[in-house]
């Protein structure tokens, strides 16, 4: 798999792939590592061992079936709703911006923003939980009120790349956006 290797804010390795289709059309894809077999086994074993512990005291077999159901359901929900495999941002200079998320289960969620609504792409600083980090944001403008941004949409929220990677994406985005205004 080609692409530059960066790290996210938790120290995990992520890959940035940059496809250039034309001068004004680029796609940035951040690929996160696949779910590791070891952590999957670890979690399952932990749940089951705990279930066995409870079963040992209560002697109720429903505990075991509940544990199995929990693991399976938990895994399904995790893959479908939480675990993000890749995140991408497609920039079409004349048309708009599309950000999409691909979950580990294969589910995709896509948002498209028309170019007339996009004001700018910026790197912003935010406080979340107990850390302060940078993220890439799209500034939207309200067509009714051309002065000032109306909404801020963060991108790459699932993969949370570090500043180095964001700057790389930011530069390319700005190149395309500056061509738009000419």
Interatomic CA distance for residues 4 and 161, integer angstroms = 12
Which among 8-16, 43-51, 68-76, 110-118 is the span making contact with other proteins, rule CB under 8 A?
8-16
132 touches other proteins by CB under 8 A: yes
29: Cβ contacts below 8 Å, ≥ 6 apart: 3, 16, 17, 18, 19, 86, 87, 88
Nearest of 177, 182, 173, 125 to residue 27 by alpha carbon: 173
Site mask, other proteins, residues 145-164, x = CB under 8 A?
---xx------------xx-
Chain positions 163 to 182 lying near other proteins, rule: CB under 8 A, are 163, 167, 170-171, 174
- Map the footprint of other proteins across residues 86-115, applying CB under 8 A: none
User: Is residue 133 near other proteins by the rule CB under 8 A?
Assistant: yes
Burial class (CB in 10 A: 0-12, 13-18, 19+), 159: buried
For 114, residues 6+ apart whose C-beta sits below 8 A from its C-beta are: 95, 96
CB of 142 to other proteins, least distance (A): 14
Q: Which two tokens stand for residue 95?
A: 């048309």
Nearer to other proteins, 96 or 149 (CB): 149
- Positions that interact with other proteins (CB under 8 A): 7, 9-11, 120, 122-127, 130-134, 139, 148-149, 162-163, 167, 170-171, 174
């Amino acid at each position: 798999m080609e692409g530059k290797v960066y790290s996210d804010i938790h120290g995990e390795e992520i890959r940035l792939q940059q496809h250039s289709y034309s001068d004004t059309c680029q796609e940035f894809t951040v690929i996160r590592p696949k779910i590791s077999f070891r952590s999957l086994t670890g979690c399952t074993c932990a749940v089951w061992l705990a279930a066995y512990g409870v079963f040992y005291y209560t002697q109720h077999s429903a505990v075991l079936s509940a544990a199995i159901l929990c693991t399976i359901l938990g895994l399904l929900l995790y893959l479908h709703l939480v675990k993000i495999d890749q995140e991408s941002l497609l920039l079409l200079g004349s048309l708009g911006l599309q950000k999409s998320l691909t979950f580990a289960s294969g589910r995709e969620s896509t948002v498209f923003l028309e170019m007339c609504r996009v004001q700018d792409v910026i790197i912003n600083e935010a406080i979340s939980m107990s850390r302060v980090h940078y993220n890439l944001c799209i500034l939207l403008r309200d067509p009714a009120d051309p002065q000032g941004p109306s909404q801020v949409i963060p991108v790459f929220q699932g993969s949370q790349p570090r500043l180095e990677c964001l700057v790389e994406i930011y530069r390319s985005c700005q190149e395309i956006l500056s061509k738009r205004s000419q």
